[in-house]
Amino acid sequence: MTKNTHLQLDMTTILADFPALDQEVHPGKRLVFLDSAASSQKPRQVIDAMSAYLRHDHANVHRGIHTLSERATAAYEGARDKIRDFIHARSRREIIYTRNATEAINLVAATWGRANLGPGDVVVLSEMEHHSNLVPWQMLAEQVGCTLHYIPVTDTGELDLDTYAAFLRDEPVKLVSVMHVSNVLGTVNPVADMIRQAHEAGALFLIDGAQSVPHLAVDVQALDVDFLAFSGHKMAGPTGIGVLYGKRELLDAMPPYMGGGEMIKRVTLDGSTWNDLPHKFEAGTPAIAEAVGLGAAVDYLGALGMSNILAHEQVVVNYALDRLSEVPGLTLYGPSPDKRNGVATFTLQDMHAHDVAQLLDVEGVAVRAGHHCAMPLHQRLGVAATARASFYVYNTTADVDVLVDAIFAARKTFGFGG
């Protein structure tokens, strides 16, 4: 048994939980999946929970007064309770199901943003953001005339916090919306301090938690964050389900996002009134099986323990950073190991990142290549594209060894020597 004693995780059991990992992608080439920042694999506990729901309990929720509808509603709402506990929200009403982190951020921009921002108001973002936390605000700025300011990224791959403080001091900032963990640099941003500073300046704070909630304990009450967005599919859950957490008083005051069934209290031909939270923001038939799957994912991660998951990943990522720095001609991006988690992003001499990824795939190693939906950050780094190995609870240092061997093989193919 591969017991990682200092890490408290039984890797044999964990690896057996993820059926997709047990395959060869080419003859003799075992899959080494290093693309979990794009989307993680799913444990059988999640697959089984969704399958059981679909086989036995499916009906529409909140509508029928029959047994299956009651079961489906209990499963759907039960998952919401699990998610509330997972991020330590005060109330289940603060957990809004969305399709993904992208939709959660768009919801805030379109509803809170349109209701509260206008010319002269400032939204602070950062240069390292994913497009999902840039484009919705750019669209909003065009509509309402607010101004966007971007916290620069330093040469060490961190946020320039002096500029952040200056924005809060000198500008009428209404909202700060920043990622917790960078999907490219792995930087763990000091959101607790940043939130405190924003609140002192009278601004609200949204965390893009797409790359943090899957990997480390995020406690919305301890952080006192106003909004948190994340996706189920990056945290062992299915695609098609994500979450917007919002403080209840903020969500209560916000207008709805989409109109339709479920989100109304009363409809007449003259107008409508809105349902209570969380339903006000969940128009139409929701992703029920997917919510059940996310509930099972939260159970799975919770049973392993988020602090154990983080500790395990830090060992694997640090080992990856060490080993990758041995490769001649390889440039690593991002801050020092104590300030990062989750990913190792690199370029290899003048090889295009897509060629690197393709050659790694030949060896069974799955990495992502491109701009990772962070084009402004790549402009800041001065590269068009990077290759990224990203890690999750099921990766081991042995996976890193396969990655490094595959990179040496790729160098050879390109004539750079062994």
Q: Total residues at the site for ligand C6P (CB under 6 A)?
A: 17
Whether the Cβ atoms of residue 328 and residue 416 lie closer than 8 Å to each other: yes
Q: Catalytic one among 47, 165, 315, 373?
A: 373
User: Which parts of 384-403 interact with ligand C6P (CB under 6 A)?
Assistant: none
Please say which residue, 35 or 57, places its beta carbon nearer to ligand C6P: 35
Strand order in the sheet with 173-179: 95-98, 242-246, 227-231, 204-208, 173-179, 122-126, 147-151
Which phi and psi angles does 150 have, rounded to 5°?
-120, 125
User: Which parts of 229-258 interact with ligand C6P (CB under 6 A)?
Assistant: 231
Contacting range for ligand C6P; rule: CB under 6 A; set: 128-136, 199-207, 300-308, 311-319: 128-136
CB of residue 191 vs ligand C6P: minimum separation in angstroms?
13
> Could you say which of 57, 121, 208, 363 contacts ligand C6P (CB under 6 A)?
208
Which phi and psi angles does 271 have, rounded to 5°?
160, 180
> Could you say which of 111, 211, 347, 396 contacts ligand C6P (CB under 6 A)?
211
- Contact between 177 and ligand C6P by CB under 6 A: the answer reads no
CB of residue 195 vs ligand C6P: minimum separation in angstroms?
17
Q: Report the alpha-carbon distance of residue 225 to residue 321 in Å, rounded.
A: 31
Contacting range for ligand C6P; rule: CB under 6 A; set: 9-17, 85-93, 206-214, 297-305: 206-214
The DSSP string of 119-165 is TT-EEEEETT--GGGTHHHHHHHHHH--EEEEEPBPTTSSB-HHHHH
User: Which parts of 311-350 interact with ligand C6P (CB under 6 A)?
Assistant: none
The length of the chain is 418
Please say which residue, 11 or 298, places its beta carbon nearer to ligand C6P: 298
- Contact between 111 and ligand C6P by CB under 6 A: the answer reads no
CB of residue 133 vs ligand C6P: minimum separation in angstroms?
6
Q: Active site includes 146?
A: no
Please say which residue, 201 or 240, places its beta carbon nearer to ligand C6P: 240
Please say which residue, 57 or 150, places its beta carbon nearer to ligand C6P: 150
- Contact between 187 and ligand C6P by CB under 6 A: the answer reads no
- Give the list of residues 6+ apart from residue 230 with CB closer than 8 angstroms, or none: 101, 104, 209, 210, 212, 213, 214, 242, 243
> Could you say which of 368, 386, 396, 403 contacts ligand C6P (CB under 6 A)?
368
> Could you say which of 139, 250, 315, 373 contacts ligand C6P (CB under 6 A)?
373
Q: Report the alpha-carbon distance of residue 51 to residue 28 in Å, rounded.
A: 31
- Contact between 197 and ligand C6P by CB under 6 A: the answer reads no
CB of residue 372 vs ligand C6P: minimum separation in angstroms?
5
Q: Report the alpha-carbon distance of residue 238 to residue 302 in Å, rounded.
A: 17
> Could you say which of 100, 189, 197, 347 contacts ligand C6P (CB under 6 A)?
100
Please say which residue, 111 or 211, places its beta carbon nearer to ligand C6P: 211
Q: Report the alpha-carbon distance of residue 176 to residue 386 in Å, rounded.
A: 28
Residue 411: exposed, middle, or buried by beta-carbon count in 10 A (0-12, 13-18, 19+)? buried
330-333 vs 368-370, strand pairing mode: unpaired
- Contact between 80 and ligand C6P by CB under 6 A: the answer reads no
Contacting range for ligand C6P; rule: CB under 6 A; set: 52-60, 150-158, 166-174, 367-375: 367-375
- Contact between 215 and ligand C6P by CB under 6 A: the answer reads no
User: Which parts of 14-53 interact with ligand C6P (CB under 6 A)?
Assistant: 37-38
264-268 vs 271-274, strand pairing mode: antiparallel
Secondary structure class of 301 (helix, strand, coil): helix
Whether the Cβ atoms of residue 337 and residue 317 lie closer than 8 Å to each other: yes
Please say which residue, 73 or 102, places its beta carbon nearer to ligand C6P: 102
Q: Report the alpha-carbon distance of residue 294 to residue 279 in Å, rounded.
A: 18
Which phi and psi angles does 309 have, rounded to 5°?
-60, -45
Instruction: Enumerate binding residues for ligand C6P (CB under 6 A).
Output: 37-38, 100-102, 130, 132-133, 179, 183, 208, 210-211, 231, 368, 372-373
Where in the sequence numbering do the catalytic residues fall? 373
